[in-house]
Chains A and B, each alone.
Chain A
Amino acid sequence: MSKAVSALQGASFEGFAKVEETGLRGMITLRGDLASAEMAAAVKAATGADMPALRKVVTGDKGAVAWMSPDELLVVVDYATVNNTVAVLTEALSGVHALVANVSDARAVYRVSGEHSPDVLAKLAPVDFGKDAFGAGDIRRSRFAQVPAAVWGNADGSFEVICFRSVAQYVFDLLKVSAEKGGEVGFH
């Protein structure tokens, strides 16, 4: 099998905030009845995390689980273990109506870090990034300029943006322009 590479292979940019592509990341789309015991058990077995509440991300010892919609979760794990996690989830959900799909290579992930990183994001998405509205453990699906994307807050104060791989360069360029020195807003 050919060597897997991430969309922009770790490209980074340093402005008034730092924007970097995080490289390969294991991502699994999980759909089904989120209220069911089977789903909660499957998530626990795969990541060690509990079922996330509305628009929340929960981190376990093997990965993180994000709430994407009333019947959809995103499971984030190491790229190396993604096939293993898919197998665990598929096995745990074998008797119920559910979908487990490995979407790792269909996405790109960016980390935006720095004191004013919310300003970088707020220029691009119609989302309230104020400290009391959005922080660590929150996820929000929205649009970044003209393309759909999702963003979540990390415990260290940085943010991670995921988008489709087909628009990886576009989103990186957006974040770059938004983080350029001279473009400070100083709002957040």
Chain B
Amino acid sequence: MLTLQCPYCGVHAEETELHAEGEAHLKRFGPGSADEDFEGYLFMRENPKGVHFERWRHSNGCGKFFLAARCTMTLQVFGTYSAQTLEPPQDIKDKITATYPGWSWREFS
């Protein structure tokens, strides 16, 4: 069972109170962008065994979207943070580095 703390209402919500909303930190490429960028935005997703960044919604709760960093293999949660961020906060990156030195995920490491 996955338990994530919602950064907006502080509730330690277990999985059934949340809804997974796909990958975090997607950069949108809209009309007028290159075909490869548009394809990447629409279809290309990370599917790592290990460190992963995801978007979640506290759907049976305050209803807010937030981002979470966790390990898909061990279900270790490194932290949750506001969805209004362009990259993971440094303290979460540090926590990941403590467990997985040399990790990388897309452009973050």
Q: Give A residues with C-beta under 8 Å from B.
A: 54-55, 68-70, 72, 126, 140-143, 148
Report the count of interface residues on B (CB-CB < 8 A). Answer: 14
Tell whether A55 pairs with B9 under 8 Å between CB atoms, given A126-B16, A142-B17.
Answer: yes
Residue among B9, B14, B64 with the highest chain A CB neighbour number at 10 A: B9
Interface residue from A54, A55, A69, A126 paired with B17 (Cβ < 8 Å):
A126
Report B-chain residues with C-beta under 8 Å of the C-beta of A72: 62
Q: Give B residues with C-beta under 8 Å from A.
A: 8-11, 13-14, 16-17, 59-64
- B-side binding surface: helix, strand, loop or mixed? loop
- A106 CB to closest chain B CB (Å) equals 16
- Enumerate 8 A-B pairs (CB-CB under 8 Å) in ascending A order: A55-B11, A69-B9, A69-B61, A69-B62, A70-B9, A72-B62, A141-B60, A143-B16
Judge whether A54 and B61 touch: CB under 8 Å: no
Report B-chain residues with C-beta under 8 Å of the C-beta of A126: 13-14, 16-17
Task: Across the interface, name the chain B residue whose C-beta is closest to A55.
Answer: B9
Report A-chain residues with C-beta under 8 Å of the C-beta of B59: 148
Task: Across the interface, name the chain B residue whose C-beta is closest to A143.
Answer: B60
- A148 CB to closest chain B CB (Å) equals 5
Having A70-B8, A72-B62, A142-B60, one finds 5 other A-B pairs with CB under 8 Å, namely: A55-B11, A68-B62, A69-B62, A126-B16, A142-B17
Report A-chain residues with C-beta under 8 Å of the C-beta of B64: 69-70
A148 to B16, CA, bound (A): 11
- A139 CB to closest chain B CB (Å) equals 10
- B16 CB to closest chain A CB (Å) equals 6
- B10 CB to closest chain A CB (Å) equals 6
Report B-chain residues with C-beta under 8 Å of the C-beta of A141: 9, 60-62
- A183 CB to closest chain B CB (Å) equals 21
Report A-chain residues with C-beta under 8 Å of the C-beta of B11: 55, 140
- B56 CB to closest chain A CB (Å) equals 15
